[in-house]
Structure 1
Amino acid sequence: MTEVDVIVLGGGPVGENAADYAVRAGLSALIVESELLGGECSFWACIPSKALLRTGHAVAALRRLPGTTAEFDPAAVLARRDSFTHDWDDDSQVQWATGAGIRVLRGLGRLVGERAVEVDGPAGRETVVARRAVVVCTGSVPATPPVPGLDTVRTWGSRAATSAKEVPARLAVLGGGVVGCEMAQAFRRLGSEVVLLQRGPRLLPAMEPFAGERVAAALREEGVDVRLEHRLDSVAPAGDQIELRTSDGPVVVDELLVATGRRPNTSSIGVDAVGLEPGKPLTVDDTGLVEGVTGEWLYAAGDVTGRALLTHQGKYAGRIVGAAIAARAIGEELDTRPWGAHVATADHSAVPQVVFTDPEVAAAGRTEAQARAAGIDVRVVDIPIAVAGSSLQADGYDGAARMVVDTTRGVLVGVTFVGQDVAEMIHAATIAIVGEVPLDRLWHAVPAFPTMSEVWLRLLEAYRG
């Protein structure tokens, strides 16, 4: 039986951060991982998906400038994607962990009691015990909709899409969230005919309405068949192809990507052994302690908590958890004030997100609807992104910006940008929201000319009237 200070279930970026911050504080840590160390983001999500998108975006940007032409080879795009995933080899990640003083144990781990984890690995079954804490960072898995016949055909999940070795002639995408929109555009630009089926009235439903509207318009302009408020009645094999029976009639495709959301990965990790319900998110306080378990030993971070299903937010939570465990281990008083060192305050009101479509959608904080639902008196400012920097960026640049202001406190609570190359502007919004910078002070943050950041000046001018 092995004992360490901290056991981390799940070796994605969230688990790596939790373990790393525990080790930095002088504790010993072990990561239990049954797949590739580095997890979903490194091998099947953020990194490969952006690699699939980047070349198409760069070529589209060139074509928006006069006197330029550009083409690309889809096979080269797939090869470049493979380079970022190291051909799905995690040796470099293991070397990093070892160099950071973190032990890696291969195998499927599950809780079997207080601070105890049983691991089924290549060498058999063993039990490891944590002296201080167990941290669950097992992420999320795709949620499958109850469509008749879906289990009778082959389907792509996000993993299959981002690791595809060939570009299908015809692709159907079920779901209009981030994965659905990004992969619809990526494969359309790689050469597929694409139909995107969305059950609701708009794409990107968790974001400001104008974001989904602009992305839908861009996809349609590129030839994606975007069908909103569209019902998928059933699915059936059609030889080597797949027939989708929809409210507008049948659609036959070569591949079907199911991108209808994700659910916390808690079904097979033994949470029932500590009194929790499998398949449900692990509810945590802002230090990462799992509610419903006594003893201050079980923590969780990332998608598995159901908070913000984003890699960067999970890594942030992992850092908070690692620091909180270390503080409790040495008897240090935790800093649990809002924005304190041991609380994940940003999860509630300052989450940034980028949708890497073209146009990009970059948002931070609350939407107008979320702010009003939270009881905040808000004023919304909407303007086009029409400054010297955007005109230089692309001929006919077409973008939009929204600022949501808490009028009682005079601070930003939400910002959304939609347009080419807006992603790199969103951190300024995140800083303003986290720092609760008064708008009269923000007025003195002078944007450099001629950059697209001058949109900040235009937003403030519009607010001041």
Structure 2
Amino acid sequence: MTEPVEYDVVVVGGGPAGENVADRVRATGLSAAVVESELVGGECSYWACMPSKALLRPVITRADARRVPGVRQSVQGPLDTEAVLTHRDEEASHWKDDGQVGWMDSIGARLYRGQGRLRGPKQVVVDGPEGEHHVLTARYAVAVATGSRAVLPDIPGLAGAKAWTSREATSAQRVPRRLAVVGGGVVGVEMATAWQALGSQITLLVRGGGLLPRMEPFVGEHVADALTEAGAQIRTHTSVASVERSDCSGPVTLVLDGGERIEADEVLFATGRAPRTEDLGLETVDLEPGSWLPVDDSCRVEGSNWLYAVGDVNHRALLTHQGKYQARIAGAAIAARARQVPLLETDRWGAHSATADRAAVPQVVFTDPEAAAVGLSHAEAEAAGLRVRAVDYDIASVAGAGLYGDGYRGRARMVVDLDREILLGVTFVGPGVGELLHSATVAVAGEVPIDRLWHAVPAYPTISEVWLRLLETYRG
């Protein structure tokens, strides 16, 4: 048996959240080991954020240009598919992690490649790709940052049909002539937008009544209109009963609940995520394999004094930027506890307490038009029993929208807490609105009173002037 190697902190998972835990604890002088079974940099770098946005950026750029007189005639042709896919490959570092490994070395963290599993409190065993076996012991903490994986529903025929998940959708090397997309959430609508623009005929099958159901209803309506105008077919209130595919290189047939059959060259199931904890050794510390890991606000697993969980795996907010935020919190808390300093004595800026992953979570959906939201929707606020008012404004009526060209369509909403006169949530949909989101996040996270927001003067002529119009509408 290999002799145990001791570190102050052992991080299982080398994606963005795990990297940030290691970075924070190393900055305080603690030693750290990181265990990664795939590529250092994780899902975001190779199969999610970076490749998906690389696919979508040309789509959105062309759409923006087509609205502007003097430019639109120059961009009427198809996208250069080969160039788009080549750039996507570059943004995904050609699925090699040399750069990320170099960064890990630069901060002084030790990388172990292989499958990491807990073996009781503060101990992690690592089985390497070439039969190596390591036993790592943590003096202070083990941080789990293994992320989440795509879930395929239990549908007859699906297991052998070679269906796409988000990974295949962001890394495919050819454009399918017909692509069926099952699911109307973020992954579904972003990939429908990208592959439709690259030449696929998209059929989008949605179980519910609309797209992006976790955002304000008007967001999904705007995105659905744009996808339909681009040539996609959207079928709501539609469920897939079974999948048929006899040859993995041939077409796939989706059989719907009513018996209707839809044929495509590929099918993407974007129907949810599950935690990557099924092979983590959780049973050795009295936790359930395959479960989400509930944590307190320092990201320490409930009932433990040494185990932390950051990123998707704790199920608080499944977004890369939120996972990195949680990792910064956890790293600071681990370091403070290692020094046996009460957290409240060193928590000058709330550095040891994650709160922004609940009430002020920002998200941008990179469709055309873009969608951006932070905080609660109107329906969520009402469901929470709060006395609220939704204030809407047509972004096309703002002078700056005209500079985006002809036919700007967009809408903004702020949800006002009428008792405290602060913003609980803000939502935008329209070209360019992603860049409005941080101002909204500051207003929501900071609980800025509306009478102070009135004195935050937006520049003219920009679409950020919608802030002034929302406040004027609220004040009447």
Q: State whether structure 2 residue 313 is matched by structure 1 residue 317.
A: no
Q: State whether structure 2 residue 146 is matched by structure 1 residue 143.
A: no
- Residue equivalent to 1:406: 417
- Could you list the runs of 5+ residues in structure 1 that have no partner in the other structure? none
State the secondary structure of the residue aligned to 1:303. Answer: helix
- Residue equivalent to 2:206: 198
Shift of the 238–224 alpha-carbon distance from structure 1 to 2, 3 Å rule, reads farther
- Residue equivalent to 2:59: 56
User: What is the CA deviation profile of residues 298-334 of structure 1, one whole-angstrom value per residue up to 9, with x for unaligned ones?
Assistant: 0001100011000000000000000000000112221
TM-score, normalised via structure 2 length: 0.95
| CA distance in structure 1 between the aligned counterparts of 2:303 and 2:215, rounded to whole angstroms | 32
| CA distance in structure 2 between the aligned counterparts of 1:248 and 1:379, rounded to whole angstroms | 44
- Residue equivalent to 1:306: 315
| CA distance in structure 2 between the aligned counterparts of 1:275 and 1:394, rounded to whole angstroms | 59
| CA distance in structure 1 between the aligned counterparts of 2:344 and 2:231, rounded to whole angstroms | 53
| CA distance in structure 2 between the aligned counterparts of 1:141 and 1:439, rounded to whole angstroms | 40
| CA distance in structure 1 between the aligned counterparts of 2:403 and 2:70, rounded to whole angstroms | 14
Q: State whether structure 2 residue 43 is matched by structure 1 residue 36.
A: no
1:429-448, aligned counterparts within 5 Å?
429-448=440-459
| CA distance in structure 2 between the aligned counterparts of 1:185 and 1:416, rounded to whole angstroms | 20
Query: How much has 1:338 moved relative to structure 2?
Result: 11
CA contact (8 A) 2:204 2:235 kept: yes
Aligned Cα RMSD in Å? 1.3
| CA distance in structure 2 between the aligned counterparts of 1:254 and 1:333, rounded to whole angstroms | 59
1:33-432, aligned counterparts within 5 Å?
33-68=36-71, 69-70=74-75, 71=77, 72-121=79-128, 122-237=130-245, 239=247, 240-246=250-256, 247=258, 249-293=260-304, 296-335=305-344, 340-385=350-395, 386-432=397-443
| CA distance in structure 2 between the aligned counterparts of 1:339 and 1:243, rounded to whole angstroms | 55
CA contact (8 A) 1:51 1:77 kept: yes
State the secondary structure of the residue aligned to 1:141. Answer: strand
| CA distance in structure 1 between the aligned counterparts of 2:299 and 2:160, rounded to whole angstroms | 40
State the secondary structure of the residue aligned to 2:58. Answer: helix
User: What is the CA deviation profile of residues 337-359 of structure 1, one whole-angstrom value per residue up to 9, with x for unaligned ones?
Assistant: 89722010111200000000011
CA contact (8 A) 1:9 1:137 kept: yes
Query: How much has 1:235 moved relative to structure 2?
Result: 0.6
- Residue identity in the other structure for 1:443: W
State the secondary structure of the residue aligned to 2:39. Answer: coil
- Residue identity in the other structure for 1:99: S
| CA distance in structure 2 between the aligned counterparts of 1:233 and 1:105, rounded to whole angstroms | 43
The worse-fitting range, judged by mean Cα deviation, of 105-114 and 246-255 is 246-255
Instruction: Give the share of equivalent positions with the same residue, in percent.
Output: 57
| CA distance in structure 2 between the aligned counterparts of 1:349 and 1:32, rounded to whole angstroms | 32
Equivalent residues, number: 463
| CA distance in structure 2 between the aligned counterparts of 1:452 and 1:343, rounded to whole angstroms | 34
Shift of the 335–368 alpha-carbon distance from structure 1 to 2, 3 Å rule, reads farther
| CA distance in structure 1 between the aligned counterparts of 2:32 and 2:467, rounded to whole angstroms | 44
State the secondary structure of the residue aligned to 1:335. Answer: helix
- Could you list the runs of 5+ residues in structure 2 that have no partner in the other structure? none
TM-score, normalised via structure 1 length: 0.98
CA contact (8 A) 2:69 2:405 kept: no
| CA distance in structure 2 between the aligned counterparts of 1:374 and 1:328, rounded to whole angstroms | 35
| CA distance in structure 2 between the aligned counterparts of 1:264 and 1:332, rounded to whole angstroms | 32
The worse-fitting range, judged by mean Cα deviation, of 12-21 and 333-342 is 333-342
State the secondary structure of the residue aligned to 2:93. Answer: coil
Query: How much has 1:144 moved relative to structure 2?
Result: 1.3
State the secondary structure of the residue aligned to 1:96. Answer: helix
User: What is the CA deviation profile of residues 377-420 of structure 1, one whole-angstrom value per residue up to 9, with x for unaligned ones?
Assistant: 11110111021111111211110000001111111110000001
Write out the 4+ residue segments of structure 1 that deviate beyond 6 Å after TM superposition.
336-339
